[in-house]
Chain A
Protein backbone atom coordinates (compact mmCIF):
# COMPACT_ATOMS: atom_id res chain seq x y z
CA UNK A 1 0.00 0.00 0.00
CA UNK A 2 1.31 3.44 -0.92
CA UNK A 3 0.51 6.70 0.85
CA UNK A 4 -2.83 8.44 0.69
CA UNK A 5 -3.45 10.37 -2.53
CA UNK A 6 -5.28 13.67 -2.02
CA UNK A 7 -7.30 15.55 -4.61
CA UNK A 8 -10.14 18.07 -4.73
CA UNK A 9 -12.48 15.82 -6.67
CA UNK A 10 -12.36 12.05 -7.02
CA UNK A 11 -14.29 10.87 -10.09
CA UNK A 12 -15.45 7.25 -10.19
CA UNK A 13 -15.51 6.30 -13.89
CA UNK A 14 -13.65 7.74 -16.87
CA UNK A 15 -16.48 7.47 -19.41
CA UNK A 16 -17.43 10.46 -21.56
CA UNK A 17 -19.32 12.09 -18.71
CA UNK A 18 -16.54 11.63 -16.14
CA UNK A 19 -14.12 13.10 -18.68
CA UNK A 20 -16.20 16.19 -19.37
CA UNK A 21 -16.66 16.68 -15.61
CA UNK A 22 -12.90 17.32 -15.48
CA UNK A 23 -13.41 20.23 -17.86
CA UNK A 24 -16.25 21.90 -15.99
CA UNK A 25 -14.61 21.35 -12.60
CA UNK A 26 -11.28 22.53 -14.01
CA UNK A 27 -12.76 25.85 -15.08
CA UNK A 28 -13.62 26.34 -11.41
CA UNK A 29 -10.04 25.45 -10.37
CA UNK A 30 -10.90 22.03 -8.98
CA UNK A 31 -8.29 19.33 -9.53
CA UNK A 32 -9.59 15.88 -10.49
CA UNK A 33 -8.43 12.29 -10.17
CA UNK A 34 -10.33 9.63 -12.14
CA UNK A 35 -10.41 5.91 -11.39
CA UNK A 36 -11.68 3.29 -13.83
CA UNK A 37 -11.62 -0.48 -13.87
CA UNK A 38 -10.93 -0.44 -17.61
CA UNK A 39 -7.36 -0.02 -18.82
CA UNK A 40 -8.32 3.06 -20.85
CA UNK A 41 -10.58 6.12 -20.77
CA UNK A 42 -13.92 6.35 -22.57
CA UNK A 43 -16.30 3.96 -20.77
CA UNK A 44 -18.96 2.43 -23.01
CA UNK A 45 -17.82 4.51 -25.99
CA UNK A 46 -14.33 3.03 -25.92
CA UNK A 47 -15.19 -0.48 -24.78
CA UNK A 48 -18.46 -1.26 -26.55
CA UNK A 49 -18.65 0.73 -29.77
CA UNK A 50 -15.45 2.65 -30.55
CA UNK A 51 -15.93 2.50 -34.33
CA UNK A 52 -19.64 3.38 -34.41
CA UNK A 53 -20.63 6.89 -35.41
CA UNK A 54 -22.68 8.92 -32.93
CA UNK A 55 -25.09 11.38 -34.53
CA UNK A 56 -26.47 13.33 -31.57
CA UNK A 57 -23.48 15.16 -30.14
CA UNK A 58 -24.29 18.85 -30.63
CA UNK A 59 -22.03 20.41 -33.24
CA UNK A 60 -20.82 17.04 -34.55
CA UNK A 61 -23.17 15.74 -37.25
CA UNK A 62 -21.24 12.48 -36.99
CA UNK A 63 -18.33 11.44 -34.80
CA UNK A 64 -17.04 7.97 -33.94
CA UNK A 65 -17.34 7.02 -30.30
CA UNK A 66 -13.56 6.71 -29.96
CA UNK A 67 -13.19 10.00 -31.84
CA UNK A 68 -15.37 11.67 -29.21
CA UNK A 69 -13.28 10.20 -26.41
CA UNK A 70 -10.07 11.45 -28.08
CA UNK A 71 -11.56 14.94 -28.43
CA UNK A 72 -12.66 14.95 -24.78
CA UNK A 73 -9.16 13.95 -23.67
CA UNK A 74 -7.75 16.81 -25.75
CA UNK A 75 -10.27 19.18 -24.21
CA UNK A 76 -9.44 18.28 -20.59
CA UNK A 77 -5.69 18.16 -21.16
CA UNK A 78 -5.06 21.72 -19.84
CA UNK A 79 -6.41 20.66 -16.44
CA UNK A 80 -3.90 17.80 -16.10
CA UNK A 81 -6.24 15.27 -14.51
CA UNK A 82 -4.73 12.18 -12.92
CA UNK A 83 -5.92 8.76 -14.04
CA UNK A 84 -5.78 5.43 -12.24
CA UNK A 85 -6.79 2.53 -14.50
CA UNK A 86 -7.39 -1.18 -13.88
CA UNK A 87 -8.82 -0.44 -10.47
CA UNK A 88 -12.30 -0.85 -9.13
CA UNK A 89 -13.41 1.66 -6.51
CA UNK A 90 -14.54 -0.70 -3.79
CA UNK A 91 -15.42 1.51 -0.84
CA UNK A 92 -16.39 5.07 -0.12
CA UNK A 93 -16.66 6.52 3.38
CA UNK A 94 -17.26 9.93 4.85
CA UNK A 95 -14.51 11.45 6.98
CA UNK A 96 -15.09 13.53 10.10
CA UNK A 97 -13.68 16.67 8.47
CA UNK A 98 -16.40 16.48 5.78
CA UNK A 99 -14.25 14.94 3.05
CA UNK A 100 -14.32 11.39 1.74
CA UNK A 101 -12.02 8.38 1.68
CA UNK A 102 -12.11 6.14 -1.37
CA UNK A 103 -10.42 2.75 -1.51
CA UNK A 104 -9.70 0.59 -4.55
CA UNK A 105 -9.71 -3.18 -4.87
CA UNK A 106 -5.90 -3.02 -4.61
CA UNK A 107 -6.15 -1.07 -1.35
CA UNK A 108 -4.97 2.26 -2.69
CA UNK A 109 -6.45 5.06 -0.61
CA UNK A 110 -7.63 8.41 -1.92
CA UNK A 111 -8.97 11.39 -0.01
CA UNK A 112 -11.12 13.99 -1.70
CA UNK A 113 -13.30 16.93 -0.73
CA UNK A 114 -15.93 15.89 -3.26
CA UNK A 115 -16.76 12.58 -4.94
CA UNK A 116 -18.40 12.45 -8.36
CA UNK A 117 -19.87 9.11 -9.34
CA UNK A 118 -19.80 8.87 -13.14
CA UNK A 119 -20.03 5.09 -13.14
CA UNK A 120 -22.37 4.70 -16.13
CA UNK A 121 -23.93 1.26 -16.25
CA UNK A 122 -21.57 0.15 -13.50
CA UNK A 123 -18.08 -1.21 -13.67
CA UNK A 124 -17.01 -3.40 -16.55
CA UNK A 125 -16.48 -6.92 -15.27
CA UNK A 126 -15.67 -10.21 -16.95
CA UNK A 127 -18.67 -12.14 -18.16
CA UNK A 128 -19.34 -15.47 -16.51
CA UNK A 129 -19.53 -18.15 -19.21
CA UNK A 130 -22.75 -20.17 -19.26
CA UNK A 131 -21.28 -23.34 -17.73
CA UNK A 132 -23.49 -24.95 -15.07
CA UNK A 133 -22.01 -24.84 -11.57
CA UNK A 134 -19.04 -22.64 -12.48
CA UNK A 135 -19.76 -20.32 -9.53
CA UNK A 136 -18.58 -22.97 -7.10
CA UNK A 137 -15.05 -22.85 -8.52
CA UNK A 138 -14.64 -19.10 -8.96
CA UNK A 139 -11.71 -17.68 -7.05
CA UNK A 140 -10.30 -21.13 -6.24
CA UNK A 141 -9.93 -22.87 -9.62
CA UNK A 142 -11.66 -20.56 -12.09
CA UNK A 143 -10.15 -17.11 -12.62
CA UNK A 144 -11.14 -14.31 -14.97
CA UNK A 145 -7.76 -12.60 -15.00
CA UNK A 146 -4.19 -13.51 -14.21
CA UNK A 147 -2.75 -11.62 -11.28
CA UNK A 148 0.17 -13.98 -10.60
CA UNK A 149 1.43 -16.51 -13.11
CA UNK A 150 2.64 -18.68 -10.24
CA UNK A 151 -0.99 -19.50 -9.40
CA UNK A 152 -1.02 -21.64 -12.55
CA UNK A 153 2.26 -23.46 -12.08
CA UNK A 154 2.01 -27.24 -12.58
CA UNK A 155 -1.73 -27.09 -13.17
CA UNK A 156 -3.80 -28.59 -15.96
CA UNK A 157 -5.01 -25.34 -17.42
CA UNK A 158 -8.01 -24.85 -19.71
CA UNK A 159 -8.31 -21.46 -21.39
CA UNK A 160 -11.60 -20.61 -23.12
CA UNK A 161 -11.98 -17.90 -25.73
CA UNK A 162 -10.71 -16.63 -29.04
CA UNK A 163 -9.60 -13.06 -28.38
CA UNK A 164 -6.27 -11.54 -27.48
CA UNK A 165 -6.52 -12.26 -23.75
CA UNK A 166 -7.16 -15.95 -24.38
CA UNK A 167 -4.31 -16.31 -26.87
CA UNK A 168 -1.82 -14.18 -24.93
CA UNK A 169 -2.33 -16.19 -21.76
CA UNK A 170 -2.22 -19.46 -23.65
CA UNK A 171 1.24 -18.52 -24.91
CA UNK A 172 2.47 -16.98 -21.66
CA UNK A 173 1.28 -19.70 -19.30
CA UNK A 174 2.31 -22.64 -21.48
CA UNK A 175 5.84 -22.79 -19.99
CA UNK A 176 4.47 -22.60 -16.44
CA UNK A 177 1.45 -24.92 -16.53
CA UNK A 178 1.57 -28.70 -16.53
CA UNK A 179 -0.72 -28.78 -19.58
CA UNK A 180 -2.63 -26.16 -21.54
CA UNK A 181 -5.84 -26.77 -23.50
CA UNK A 182 -7.26 -23.86 -25.46
CA UNK A 183 -10.97 -24.18 -26.23
CA UNK A 184 -12.69 -22.00 -28.78
CA UNK A 185 -15.98 -22.35 -30.61
CA UNK A 186 -14.42 -22.22 -34.09
CA UNK A 187 -10.99 -22.38 -35.73
CA UNK A 188 -11.03 -18.63 -36.54
CA UNK A 189 -9.82 -16.22 -33.87
CA UNK A 190 -10.34 -12.56 -33.05
CA UNK A 191 -6.84 -12.40 -31.60
CA UNK A 192 -3.81 -10.99 -33.41
CA UNK A 193 -2.80 -13.36 -36.26
CA UNK A 194 0.74 -13.48 -34.92
CA UNK A 195 -0.35 -15.04 -31.60
CA UNK A 196 -2.66 -17.44 -33.43
CA UNK A 197 0.22 -18.63 -35.62
CA UNK A 198 2.42 -19.11 -32.55
CA UNK A 199 -0.32 -21.10 -30.87
CA UNK A 200 -0.72 -23.40 -33.91
CA UNK A 201 3.06 -23.86 -34.04
CA UNK A 202 3.10 -24.91 -30.38
CA UNK A 203 0.25 -27.31 -31.05
CA UNK A 204 2.30 -28.86 -33.86
CA UNK A 205 5.07 -29.45 -31.33
CA UNK A 206 2.53 -30.94 -28.91
CA UNK A 207 3.28 -28.23 -26.33
CA UNK A 208 -0.39 -27.44 -26.01
CA UNK A 209 -3.73 -28.62 -27.26
CA UNK A 210 -6.28 -26.56 -29.18
CA UNK A 211 -9.82 -27.92 -29.29
CA UNK A 212 -12.78 -26.58 -31.21
CA UNK A 213 -15.93 -26.67 -29.12
CA UNK A 214 -17.64 -25.25 -26.06
CA UNK A 215 -17.07 -26.15 -22.43
CA UNK A 216 -20.36 -27.48 -21.16
CA UNK A 217 -19.57 -29.12 -17.85
CA UNK A 218 -17.12 -29.21 -14.97
CA UNK A 219 -16.29 -31.84 -12.38
CA UNK A 220 -14.54 -31.40 -9.09
CA UNK A 221 -15.23 -30.95 -5.41
CA UNK A 222 -14.87 -28.30 -2.73
CA UNK A 223 -13.95 -25.60 -5.20
CA UNK A 224 -11.16 -27.70 -6.71
CA UNK A 225 -11.68 -28.47 -10.38
CA UNK A 226 -10.71 -31.86 -11.79
CA UNK A 227 -11.94 -31.94 -15.38
CA UNK A 228 -13.91 -30.11 -18.04
CA UNK A 229 -16.24 -31.47 -20.71
CA UNK A 230 -15.87 -30.05 -24.20
CA UNK A 231 -18.76 -30.45 -26.61
CA UNK A 232 -19.34 -29.70 -30.25
CA UNK A 233 -15.91 -30.47 -31.64
CA UNK A 234 -15.14 -33.01 -34.38
CA UNK A 235 -14.30 -35.67 -31.75
CA UNK A 236 -17.71 -35.50 -30.03
CA UNK A 237 -17.89 -34.95 -26.28
CA UNK A 238 -14.53 -35.22 -24.61
CA UNK A 239 -13.30 -34.76 -21.08
CA UNK A 240 -9.97 -33.07 -20.44
CA UNK A 241 -8.05 -32.74 -17.17
CA UNK A 242 -8.58 -29.27 -15.74
CA UNK A 243 -7.47 -27.97 -12.36
CA UNK A 244 -7.41 -24.30 -13.38
CA UNK A 245 -9.64 -22.53 -15.84
CA UNK A 246 -9.40 -19.08 -17.42
CA UNK A 247 -12.57 -18.15 -19.34
CA UNK A 248 -12.40 -15.00 -21.49
CA UNK A 249 -15.96 -14.18 -22.49
CA UNK A 250 -15.80 -10.43 -22.78
CA UNK A 251 -17.01 -7.79 -20.39
CA UNK A 252 -20.39 -6.80 -19.07
CA UNK A 253 -21.43 -3.87 -16.88
CA UNK A 254 -22.42 -4.59 -13.29
CA UNK A 255 -23.35 -2.03 -10.65
CA UNK A 256 -20.70 -3.53 -8.38
CA UNK A 257 -19.73 -2.14 -4.99
CA UNK A 258 -21.63 1.14 -5.47
CA UNK A 259 -24.64 -0.56 -3.91
CA UNK A 260 -22.78 -0.74 -0.59
CA UNK A 261 -21.85 2.92 -0.25
CA UNK A 262 -24.88 3.89 1.80
CA UNK A 263 -26.52 5.91 -0.98
CA UNK A 264 -30.22 5.77 -1.76
CA UNK A 265 -30.80 3.74 -4.91
CA UNK A 266 -33.66 3.59 -7.40
CA UNK A 267 -33.56 0.35 -9.44
CA UNK A 268 -29.76 0.27 -9.40
CA UNK A 269 -29.50 3.95 -10.26
CA UNK A 270 -28.62 6.81 -7.95
CA UNK A 271 -31.38 9.39 -7.52
CA UNK A 272 -30.19 13.00 -7.65
CA UNK A 273 -31.76 16.43 -7.67
CA UNK A 274 -31.70 18.33 -10.97
CA UNK A 275 -30.14 21.49 -9.59
CA UNK A 276 -26.89 20.07 -8.26
CA UNK A 277 -27.01 16.40 -9.26
CA UNK A 278 -26.21 15.58 -5.66
CA UNK A 279 -26.97 12.18 -4.11
CA UNK A 280 -28.58 11.51 -0.74
CA UNK A 281 -25.16 12.25 0.81
CA UNK A 282 -24.06 15.90 0.54
CA UNK A 283 -20.70 16.17 -1.22
CA UNK A 284 -21.29 13.05 -3.31
CA UNK A 285 -22.62 13.79 -6.78
CA UNK A 286 -23.79 11.39 -9.50
CA UNK A 287 -23.77 12.23 -13.22
CA UNK A 288 -24.29 10.43 -16.52
CA UNK A 289 -25.93 7.05 -17.01
CA UNK A 290 -25.68 6.08 -13.33
CA UNK A 291 -28.05 8.76 -12.04
CA UNK A 292 -31.81 8.99 -12.06
CA UNK A 293 -34.29 11.85 -11.90
CA UNK A 294 -37.73 12.32 -13.44
CA UNK A 295 -37.34 12.55 -17.20
CA UNK A 296 -33.76 11.23 -17.23
CA UNK A 297 -32.42 10.22 -20.65
CA UNK A 298 -29.28 8.12 -20.84
CA UNK A 299 -27.59 10.30 -23.41
CA UNK A 300 -24.07 11.68 -23.50
CA UNK A 301 -25.58 15.10 -24.14
CA UNK A 302 -27.57 14.94 -20.89
CA UNK A 303 -24.46 13.93 -18.98
CA UNK A 304 -22.59 16.95 -20.31
CA UNK A 305 -25.32 19.28 -19.08
CA UNK A 306 -25.38 17.57 -15.71
CA UNK A 307 -21.65 18.05 -15.07
CA UNK A 308 -21.83 21.79 -15.79
CA UNK A 309 -24.41 22.27 -13.05
CA UNK A 310 -22.79 19.75 -10.72
CA UNK A 311 -19.46 21.60 -10.95
CA UNK A 312 -21.03 24.79 -9.57
CA UNK A 313 -22.36 22.89 -6.57
CA UNK A 314 -19.08 21.01 -6.08
CA UNK A 315 -17.19 24.30 -6.04
CA UNK A 316 -19.44 25.53 -3.22
CA UNK A 317 -18.60 22.40 -1.21
CA UNK A 318 -14.84 22.78 -1.73
CA UNK A 319 -14.69 26.58 -1.29
CA UNK A 320 -17.67 27.59 0.82
CA UNK A 321 -18.37 31.28 0.80
CA UNK A 322 -16.28 31.99 -2.29
CA UNK A 323 -18.23 33.95 -4.89
CA UNK A 324 -18.57 32.10 -8.21
CA UNK A 325 -18.59 34.46 -11.17
CA UNK A 326 -20.44 33.20 -14.23
CA UNK A 327 -18.14 33.49 -17.26
CA UNK A 328 -17.95 32.49 -20.92
CA UNK A 329 -14.91 30.69 -22.32
CA UNK A 330 -15.06 32.94 -25.42
CA UNK A 331 -14.63 36.16 -23.50
CA UNK A 332 -13.17 35.49 -20.06
CA UNK A 333 -9.43 36.05 -19.98
CA UNK A 334 -9.19 34.19 -16.69
CA UNK A 335 -10.86 31.06 -18.15
CA UNK A 336 -8.66 31.31 -21.23
CA UNK A 337 -5.58 31.41 -19.03
CA UNK A 338 -6.69 28.15 -17.41
CA UNK A 339 -7.21 26.64 -20.85
CA UNK A 340 -3.82 27.85 -22.04
CA UNK A 341 -5.30 29.80 -24.96
CA UNK A 342 -5.49 33.49 -25.70
CA UNK A 343 -8.74 34.99 -26.97
Chain B
Protein backbone atom coordinates (compact mmCIF):
# COMPACT_ATOMS: atom_id res chain seq x y z
CA UNK B 1 0.00 0.00 0.00
CA UNK B 2 1.16 3.50 -0.83
CA UNK B 3 0.27 6.37 1.46
CA UNK B 4 -1.24 9.52 -0.02
CA UNK B 5 -2.27 12.73 1.71
CA UNK B 6 -4.96 15.01 0.33
CA UNK B 7 -5.22 18.47 1.83
CA UNK B 8 -8.70 19.86 1.28
CA UNK B 9 -9.17 23.57 0.62
CA UNK B 10 -10.21 24.16 4.25
CA UNK B 11 -6.95 22.56 5.42
CA UNK B 12 -8.35 19.18 6.48
CA UNK B 13 -5.88 16.33 5.90
CA UNK B 14 -7.01 13.02 4.43
CA UNK B 15 -4.42 10.28 4.81
CA UNK B 16 -5.31 7.31 2.69
CA UNK B 17 -3.83 3.94 1.73
CA UNK B 18 -3.81 3.63 -2.03
CA UNK B 19 -3.33 0.58 -4.18
CA UNK B 20 -0.57 0.74 -6.78
CA UNK B 21 -2.00 1.09 -10.25
CA UNK B 22 -5.07 3.01 -9.08
CA UNK B 23 -5.29 6.72 -9.86
CA UNK B 24 -4.94 9.49 -7.31
CA UNK B 25 -8.45 10.65 -8.30
CA UNK B 26 -9.97 7.23 -7.57
CA UNK B 27 -8.52 7.35 -4.08
CA UNK B 28 -9.93 10.84 -3.50
CA UNK B 29 -13.42 9.69 -4.56
CA UNK B 30 -13.23 6.46 -2.56
CA UNK B 31 -12.34 8.46 0.55
CA UNK B 32 -14.84 11.24 -0.12
CA UNK B 33 -12.22 13.99 -0.26
CA UNK B 34 -14.24 17.20 -0.71
CA UNK B 35 -13.55 19.28 -3.81
CA UNK B 36 -12.68 16.47 -6.21
CA UNK B 37 -15.63 16.03 -8.55
CA UNK B 38 -14.28 13.79 -11.32
CA UNK B 39 -17.37 14.20 -13.46
CA UNK B 40 -16.00 12.17 -16.36
CA UNK B 41 -14.85 9.29 -14.23
CA UNK B 42 -11.20 9.59 -15.12
CA UNK B 43 -11.31 9.95 -18.88
CA UNK B 44 -9.29 13.16 -18.89
CA UNK B 45 -12.39 14.81 -20.30
CA UNK B 46 -13.66 17.16 -17.60
CA UNK B 47 -10.83 18.78 -15.60
CA UNK B 48 -12.84 18.52 -12.37
CA UNK B 49 -10.21 16.40 -10.61
CA UNK B 50 -7.62 19.20 -10.59
CA UNK B 51 -5.03 19.14 -7.75
CA UNK B 52 -1.83 20.96 -6.85
CA UNK B 53 1.07 18.59 -6.33
CA UNK B 54 3.18 19.48 -3.29
CA UNK B 55 6.37 21.23 -4.45
CA UNK B 56 8.53 18.48 -2.95
CA UNK B 57 6.82 15.94 -5.18
CA UNK B 58 6.50 17.64 -8.57
CA UNK B 59 9.66 16.09 -10.00
CA UNK B 60 8.73 12.55 -8.96
CA UNK B 61 5.11 12.89 -10.15
CA UNK B 62 6.22 14.29 -13.48
CA UNK B 63 4.74 16.56 -16.14
CA UNK B 64 1.29 16.19 -17.67
CA UNK B 65 1.06 14.69 -21.13
CA UNK B 66 -0.27 16.74 -24.04
CA UNK B 67 -3.88 15.62 -23.64
CA UNK B 68 -3.89 16.44 -19.93
CA UNK B 69 -2.21 19.80 -20.59
CA UNK B 70 -5.04 20.58 -23.05
CA UNK B 71 -7.65 19.64 -20.48
CA UNK B 72 -5.97 21.79 -17.82
CA UNK B 73 -6.96 24.80 -19.95
CA UNK B 74 -10.45 24.30 -18.50
CA UNK B 75 -9.39 24.18 -14.86
CA UNK B 76 -9.49 27.02 -12.34
CA UNK B 77 -6.33 28.86 -11.23
CA UNK B 78 -3.90 26.58 -12.96
CA UNK B 79 -0.37 26.73 -11.56
CA UNK B 80 2.90 25.11 -12.63
CA UNK B 81 2.26 22.27 -10.14
CA UNK B 82 -1.29 21.64 -11.38
CA UNK B 83 -2.22 18.12 -12.42
CA UNK B 84 -5.41 16.23 -13.14
CA UNK B 85 -5.47 13.60 -10.42
CA UNK B 86 -7.08 10.98 -12.67
CA UNK B 87 -3.90 11.00 -14.75
CA UNK B 88 -1.53 10.23 -11.86
CA UNK B 89 -1.07 6.52 -11.26
CA UNK B 90 -0.12 5.42 -7.76
CA UNK B 91 3.22 3.57 -7.51
CA UNK B 92 5.79 2.76 -4.82
CA UNK B 93 7.84 5.86 -5.60
CA UNK B 94 4.85 8.06 -4.68
CA UNK B 95 4.66 6.77 -1.10
CA UNK B 96 3.99 9.85 1.05
CA UNK B 97 2.70 12.00 -1.85
CA UNK B 98 0.90 15.18 -0.82
CA UNK B 99 -1.63 16.91 -3.10
CA UNK B 100 -3.78 19.96 -2.38
CA UNK B 101 -7.34 20.43 -3.56
CA UNK B 102 -8.04 23.82 -5.19
CA UNK B 103 -10.71 26.21 -4.00
CA UNK B 104 -13.03 25.06 -6.75
CA UNK B 105 -13.19 22.90 -9.81
CA UNK B 106 -13.90 24.96 -12.95
- A residues with a Cβ closer than 8 A to B are 48-49, 52, 127, 130, 161-163, 184-186, 188, 190, 214, 249-250, 252
Residues of the B chain whose Cβ atoms lie less than 8 Å from the Cβ of A214: 77-78
Does A188 contact B69, Cβ atoms closer than 8 Å?
Answer: yes
Shortest CB-to-CB span from A160 to chain B, Å, is 10
Q: How far is the CA of A163 from the CA of B46 in the complex (A)?
A: 15
Judging by beta carbons under 8 Å apart, are B40 and A130 in contact?
no
* Contact partners of B69 in chain A: CB under 8 A: 186, 188
Compute how far the CA of A52 lies from the CA of B46 in the bound complex, rounded to whole angstroms: 14
Which residues of chain A are within 8 angstroms of B47 by Cβ–Cβ distance? 250
Instruction: Decide yes or no whether B43 CB sits under 8 A from chain A.
Output: yes
Q: A49-B40, A49-B43, A214-B77 are in contact. Are A185 and B106 (CB under 8 A)?
A: no
Pick from B40, B46, B73, B104: contact of A185, CB below 8 A: B73
With a cutoff of 8 Å between Cβ atoms, the chain A residues found around residue B46 in the complex are: 48, 252
Q: Please state if A130 and B73 are interface contacts (CB–CB under 8 Å).
A: no
B73 partner residues in chain A, CB cutoff 8 A? 161-163, 184-186, 190, 249-250
Whether A185 pairs with B77 at a CB distance below 8 angstroms is no
Interface contacts (Cβ under 8 Å), in number, total: 38
A185 touches B45 (CB 8 A): no
- Count of chain B residues with a beta carbon within 8 Å of a chain A beta carbon: 16
Closest to B105 in A: A130
Assess whether B76 is interfacial by the CB under 8 Å rule: yes
**Quick one: which of A130, A163, A249 contacts B77, CB cutoff 8 A?**
A130
Question: Of A48, A130, A190, which one neighbours B76 at CB under 8 angstroms?
Answer: A130
- Known interface pairs A127-B106, A130-B106. Does A249 touch B74 (Cβ–Cβ under 8 Å)? yes
Alpha-carbon gap, A158 to B40, bound state (A) = 29
Could you tell me if A127 and B74 are in contact, using CB atoms closer than 8 angstroms? yes
Please indicate the chain B residues that have their CB under 8 angstroms from the CB of A185 in the complex.
72-73, 78
Q: Is B70 an interface residue, CB under 8 A from the partner?
A: yes
How near does chain B come to A129, taking the closest CB pair, in angstroms? 8
The CA-CA distance from A343 to B102 in the complex, in Å, is: 60
| Nearest 9 A/B pairs, CB to CB | A130-B76, A48-B45, A250-B74, A49-B43, A190-B70, A162-B73, A49-B45, A249-B74, A185-B73
By DSSP majority rule, is chain B's interface helix, strand, loop, or mixed?
A: loop
Task: Report whether B43 and A52 are in contact in the complex, using a CB–CB cutoff of 8 Å.
Answer: yes
- Give the complex CA separation of A48 and B70 in angstroms: 13
Those of B32-57 within 8 Å (CB) of chain A: 39-40, 43, 45-47
Which residues does chain A contribute within 8 Å of B77, judged by CB atoms? 130, 214
Residue of A nearest to B103 (CB): A130
A249 and B70 form a contact (CB under 8 A): no
User: Can you add 10 more A-B contacts, CB < 8 Å, to A162-B70, A163-B73?
Assistant: A48-B46, A130-B76, A162-B73, A185-B78, A186-B69, A188-B69, A190-B70, A214-B77, A249-B73, A249-B106
A49 nearest CB neighbor, chain B only: B43
Chain B hits for A252, CB < 8 A = 39, 46, 106
Distance between Cα atoms of A48 and B40 in the complex (Å): 8
User: CA A214 – CA B73 in complex, angstroms?
Assistant: 10
20 CB contacts below 8 A, A to B, read A48-B40, A48-B45, A49-B40, A49-B45, A52-B43, A130-B76, A130-B77, A185-B72, A185-B73, A186-B69, A186-B73, A188-B69, A190-B73, A214-B78, A249-B73, A249-B106, A250-B47, A250-B73, A250-B74, A252-B39
Cα A186 to Cα B39 with chains together (Å) = 24
Give complex CA distance A185, B47 in Å: 15
CB distance from A254 to the nearest CB of B (A): 12
CA distance A238 to B99 in the complex (A): 30
The CA-CA distance from A130 to B74 in the complex, in Å, is 9
Question: For B76, what are the chain A residues with a Cβ–Cβ distance below 8 Å?
Answer: 130
Cα–Cα, bound, A252→B47 (Å): 11
Cβ–Cβ < 8 Å partners of A186 in chain B: 69, 73
State the Cβ distance, A179 to closest chain B Cβ, in Å.
Answer: 23
B contact residues around A161 at 8 Å (CB): 73
For the complex, give the distance between the alpha carbons of A161 and B74 in Å.
Answer: 9
Whole-angstrom distance between the alpha carbons of A162 and B39 in the complex? 22
